[in-house]
């Protein structure tokens, strides 16, 4: 079995035991590394005032964790700039928020080249390299020009946009050309894959053949769909155990038999949080029986707080939730509990389990793991209902959810009412089909499917 090298913006903690906060993806990647031996390479999360140093290395068992710091200029241009103020908004269809600047693009190119330069000496000829996400679209091209011949795979965790959106990016062609230096490109959904293929045919003048084969920019590679999953069994077990925990008991006591609607999202404009609060407001207006009887718990850990659009969304969300509470709250009941902090996965799993409704309404989302975690956490006897945006990748697999259009806040309110009043048998049937889907395609299956495809798909060049 060849050694595995994982490259991702942030690297899992260099610990032998599983840190409590670690998500399913980090656990799955670590397990793959443990099985094969290898290197996990990425940014340390530190920003240095001075210039670069050599990577910090930590060995735990057969895994080497290699991390590099960024200097302030590269953090600003590459991370805050091109990755999170250009690619992230654009790939989430927010052309209005995407910033285009030669300076940040140069920073992105610089950091991709620098990472490749630092990674190359750590590689062996027989390694398999798996690069993650939009931060590193240029990495394979950089590695190839330095002479790397290893198998190189790339998985995009976020959506791939439709051609007219991508075409607005001045450097779209450079990015797609660089992506074609990988041997395998993985997308979350067929729709993402079709959009990529559409670009290859119509914009790049390339060919899309059988079995995911792509011929473009003088290169041959494969592009396929690999919908990511969660650590279903572990999360389900955690939810069962957590049900009796102090925190979950405290939550239930505070609810006093009221129904709970739960939302869990990073504070991000792609997650549709304001529309979600407005939909809940519609619910209280249109179906007044819910007043005093339903609580909406929205857990929203802050993220990317130094990007100004994230500061704006936070203010807007605080104002909207405050307005709804001000309008509807009574002295013994508040409709929205808006929490700007994070919880351990164990506590989150328990909160999901005691919720009547999981509310997941992104405007665009590569997959959305929260939707799958909500399903994993339910009890088979008395499962909650998932209300899910059609624009989350997860909607392709979770056909037992009540699928909504997050732009249609009145429609979301109607589905919320349907969820809150759904008979037990219908809830069980819907949940069964969803649980089946998340159990079959869990994060381990996803990982192995990708690595198998990368192993099989030799470079035809
Ligand atoms: C990107 C793509 C794609 C949330 N709050 C807390 C917490 N979380 C955990 C959730 C979940 C994860 O964070 C979030 O994953 P999502 O998939 O929902 O969203 P993104 O962060 O945007 O992830 C997305 C994903 O990559 C994987 O490919 O699905 O589309 O955008 O696991 O539970 N975890 C803890 N405390 C919290 O308060 N411990």
Tens of pLDDT, residue by residue over 53-67, are: 788 999 999 999 999
Q: What is the pLDDT of residue 305?
A: 85
Atom of ligand 1 nearest to the CA of 228: 28
CA distances from 444 to 56, 162, 330, 371, 398 (A): 28, 29, 47, 17, 18
Establish whether 114 is a catalytic residue.
no
- Give the pair of three-digit tokens for residue 15: 């610990």
Q: What is the pLDDT of residue 303?
A: 86
Active-site entry in 135, 157, 172, 282: 157
Q: What is the pLDDT of residue 17?
A: 60
Distance from Cα 120 to the centre of ligand 1, integer Å: 30
* CA–CA gap between residue 344 and residue 280 (Å, rounded): 26
Q: How many residues does the chain have?
A: 461
- Domains of the chain (ranges, CATH numbers): 4-229+443-456 (3.40.50.2000), 232-440 (3.40.50.2000)
Can you say how many angstroms the Cα of residue 334 is from the centroid of all Cα atoms in its chain?
31
Q: What is the pLDDT of residue 339?
A: 95
Adjacency order of strands within the sheet including 151-155: 56-60, 63-71, 38-48, 4-10, 128-132, 151-155, 184-187, 219-225, 213-216, 207-208
366 lines ligand 1 (CB under 6 A): yes
15-38: pLDDT as tens digits:
756 556 677 788 888 888 999 999
189-233: pLDDT as tens digits:
999 999 999 999 999 999 999 999 999 999 999 999 999 999 999
Backbone φ/ψ region at 180: left (φ over 0), alpha (ψ -120 to 50), beta: alpha
Q: Which of 144, 155, 135 is nearest to 32 (CA)?
A: 155
Q: Which residue is it, tokens 């309404």?
A: 361
Mean pLDDT (the chain, rounded): 95
Say which residue, 402 or 311, is predicted with more confidence.
Answer: 402
Q: How confident is the model at residue 48 (pLDDT cuts 50, 70, 90)?
A: confident
Q: Which residue is it, tokens 């009796």?
A: 244
Distance from Cα 219 to the centre of ligand 1, integer Å: 34
* CA–CA gap between residue 119 and residue 113 (Å, rounded): 10
The pTM of the full predicted model, rounded to 2 decimals, is: 0.96
Contact call for residues 119 and 159 (beta carbons, < 8 A)? no
* CA–CA gap between residue 270 and residue 278 (Å, rounded): 16
61 lines ligand 1 (CB under 6 A): no
Lowest mean pLDDT among 142-146, 378-382, 414-418, 453-457: 453-457
CA distances from 158 to 6, 200, 253 (A): 18, 19, 38
HEC string for 26-73: HHHHHHHHHHHCEEEEEEEEEEECCCCCCCEEEEECCEEEEEEEEEHH
- Work out the average pLDDT over 243-254: 96
- Work out the average pLDDT over 37-52: 87
Atom of ligand 1 nearest to the CA of 392: 30
Does residue 460 register a pLDDT over 50? no
* CA–CA gap between residue 41 and residue 308 (Å, rounded): 29
Q: What is the pLDDT of residue 281?
A: 98
- pLDDT above 70 coverage of the chain, percent: 97
Distance from Cα 374 to the centre of ligand 1, integer Å: 12
Does residue 458 register a pLDDT over 60? no
Burial classification of residue 107, based on how many CB atoms lie within 10 Å of its CB (0-12 exposed, 13-18 middle, 19 or more buried): buried
β-strands 4-10, 38-48: how paired?
Answer: parallel
- Work out the average pLDDT over 401-426: 98
Q: Which of 191, 54, 43, 201 is nearest to 111 (CA)?
A: 43
Can you say how many angstroms the Cα of residue 328 is from the centroid of all Cα atoms in its chain?
33
- Work out the average pLDDT over 81-98: 97
Q: What is the pLDDT of residue 21?
A: 65
344 lines ligand 1 (CB under 6 A): yes
Q: What is the pLDDT of residue 461?
A: 38
Does residue 51 register a pLDDT over 90? no
Of 229, 231, 264, the one to substitute when testing ligand 1's pocket (max ligand atoms within 8 A of C-beta) is 264
Establish whether 231 is a catalytic residue.
no
Please report which helix (H) or strand (E) contains residue 134, including its range: none
Of 266, 340, 352, 392, the one to substitute when testing ligand 1's pocket (max ligand atoms within 8 A of C-beta) is 266
- Give the pair of three-digit tokens for residue 269: 């404009």
Q: Which of 461, 404, 29, 70 is nearest to 228 (CA)?
A: 29
Q: What is the pLDDT of residue 22?
A: 75
């Amino acid at each position: 079995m060849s050694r595995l090298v994982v490259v991702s913006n942030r690297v899992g903690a260099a610990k032998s035991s599983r840190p409590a906060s670690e998500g399913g993806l980090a656990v799955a990647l670590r397990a793959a590394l443990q099985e094969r031996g290898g290197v996990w390479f990425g940014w340390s999360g530190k920003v240095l005032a001075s210039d670069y140093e050599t990577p910090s290395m930590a060995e735990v068992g057969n895994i080497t964790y290699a991390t590099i710091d960024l200097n302030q200029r590269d953090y600003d241009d590459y991370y805050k700039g091109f990755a999170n103020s250009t690619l992230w908004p654009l790939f989430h269809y927010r052309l209005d928020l995407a910033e285009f600047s030669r300076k940040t693009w140069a920073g992105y190119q610089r950091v991709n080249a620098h990472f490749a330069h630092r990674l190359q000496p750590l590689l062996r000829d027989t390694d398999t390299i798996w690069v993650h996400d939009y931060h590193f679209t240029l990495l394979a091209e950089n590695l190839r020009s330095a002479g790397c011949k290893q198998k190189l795979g790339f998985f995009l965790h976020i959506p791939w946009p439709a051609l007219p959106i991508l075409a607005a990016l001045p450097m779209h062609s450079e990015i797609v050309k660089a992506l074609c230096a990988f041997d395998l490109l993985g997308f979350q959904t067929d729709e993402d894959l079709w959009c990529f293929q559409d670009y290859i045919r119509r914009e790049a003048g390339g060919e899309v053949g059988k079995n995911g084969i792509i011929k473009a920019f003088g290169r041959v590679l494969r592009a396929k769909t690999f919908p990511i999953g969660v650590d279903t069994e572990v999360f389900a077990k955690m939810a069962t155990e957590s049900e009796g925990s102090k925190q979950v008991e405290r939550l239930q006591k505070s609810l006093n038999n009221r129904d709970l609607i739960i939302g869990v999202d990073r504070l991000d404009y792609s997650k549709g949080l304001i529309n979600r609060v407005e939909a809940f407001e519609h619910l209280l207006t249109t179906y007044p029986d819910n007043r005093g009887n339903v609580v909406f718990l929205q857990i929203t850990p802050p993220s990317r707080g130094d990007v100004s659009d994230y500061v704006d969304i936070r203010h807007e969300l605080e104002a909207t939730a405050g307005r709804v509470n001000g309008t509807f709250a009574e002295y013994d009941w508040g409709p929205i509990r808006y929490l700007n902090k994070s919880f351990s996965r164990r506590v989150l799993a328990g909160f999901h389990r005691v919720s009547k409704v999981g509310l997941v309404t992104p405007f665009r989302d590569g997959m959305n793991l929260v939707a799958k975690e909500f399903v994993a956490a339910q009890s088979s006897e008395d499962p909650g209902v998932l209300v899910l945006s059609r624009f989350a990748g997860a909607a392709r697999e979770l056909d037992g959810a009540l699928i909504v259009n997050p732009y249609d806040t009145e429609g979301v309110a109607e589905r919320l009412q349907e969820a809150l009043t759904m008979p037990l048998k219908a809830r069980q049937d819907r949940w069964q089909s969803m649980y089946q889907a998340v159990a079959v395609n869990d994060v381990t299956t996803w990982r192995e499917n990708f690595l198998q495809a990368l192993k099989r798909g030799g470079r035809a060049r």
